[in-house]
Amino acid sequence: MDKVKAFAVGGVDYLTKPFQMEELHARVETHLKLRRLQLELEEYSRDLELARERLKLDLELAREVQRDFLPLFLPDVSGYEFFAHYESAYEVGGDYYDFIPLTGQRVAVLLGDVAGKGVVAALLMAKLSADARFCMLTEPDPAAAITKLNALMIKSGLADRFVTLVAAVLDPVRHTVTLVNAGHPSPLIYHRGTRTAGEAISTEVAGLPLGVLDGFEYTSCQVHLEPGDSILAFTDGVTEATDVQDLQLQMKGVYAAVRGGAYSPKALGEQVVKVVKQFAAGRSQQDDIALVGFGRTGAS
């Protein structure tokens, strides 16, 4: 009964008389070791919490830095409207897009997807951003620019990483778009006049992802934009969006989302983003999502 009372008031051990000093010393030493272990665990827990806070701050800073690599403003081109949307699955991601002013009033529109996610993908995305801008500004031919970009990727030594990318160079004077595809899902071309959509780049023109094969020569194709026509490119976070039954949206889901509607270039992009969110409702975002598009305004 005495033991029950002792434990009831907070005792953690009990020694009855008569007792041996050796047993007393052994029990005291055991409790001292347990106390030291408890203090060490408490200190480790505090250190771990501080480390988590530092990591959170570092990731928030990395997110801000990564955002700085993306355009702050959409291009202002007479007779054209532009659209962009970016949403990373984690604090930082590997999707990338850019608008690069070129000579002759042309504008290069780039969208890329770095293999992987998180900090490593974000770091490679930062390098890709700088290298892609350099190549597009120094090579007048878009296909040659992407070929040079692939060579830079190979020389970087990142053999276990690759990037899918699509480049579209808009000539607003001639109303043409020159397209180069490096292993990326084909952008869609939307015709508001007929309210239809299809692939802007055929599989015959599509090349390998960047960083896969040294010396690969990329080719281009060209499309003409009528009033009301739009180009919309997106990363696989769109087509691979998954619903609660583990079914993916896929390209056919994207086409179905825009078929039959009359959309401006901005509204077209917003419609696809809306469909992706509705389709994946109830599921956490598993991949980065990026869309970039542009189109010719005016009557169709």
Q: For residue range 26-51, what is the model confidence (pLDDT) as tens digits? A: 777 887 788 788 888 888 888 788 77
Q: Which residue has the tokens 């189109």?
A: 295
- Taking 50 as the pLDDT cut, the residues of the chain under it are none
State both tokens at 126.
């930062």
Question: What values do phi and psi take at 257, rounded to 5?
Answer: -70, -30
What per-residue confidence (pLDDT) applies to 131?
A: 94
Name the CATH topology of 73-296. Phosphatase 2c; domain 1 (3.60.40)
What per-residue confidence (pLDDT) applies to 101?
A: 97
What per-residue confidence (pLDDT) applies to 125?
A: 80
Kindly give the pairing relationship between strand 176-182 and strand 229-234: unpaired
CA distance 118 to 191: 36
β-partners of residue 207 are: 182
What per-residue confidence (pLDDT) applies to 181?
A: 97
What per-residue confidence (pLDDT) applies to 299?
A: 66
What per-residue confidence (pLDDT) applies to 21?
A: 78
Would you give the distance in Å from CA 82 to the centre of its chain?
A: 20
What per-residue confidence (pLDDT) applies to 66?
A: 58
What per-residue confidence (pLDDT) applies to 51?
A: 74
What per-residue confidence (pLDDT) applies to 89?
A: 67
CA distance 157 to 176: 36
Contacts of 244 (CB under 8 A, 6+ apart): 281, 282, 283
Q: What percent of the chain has pLDDT over 70?
A: 82
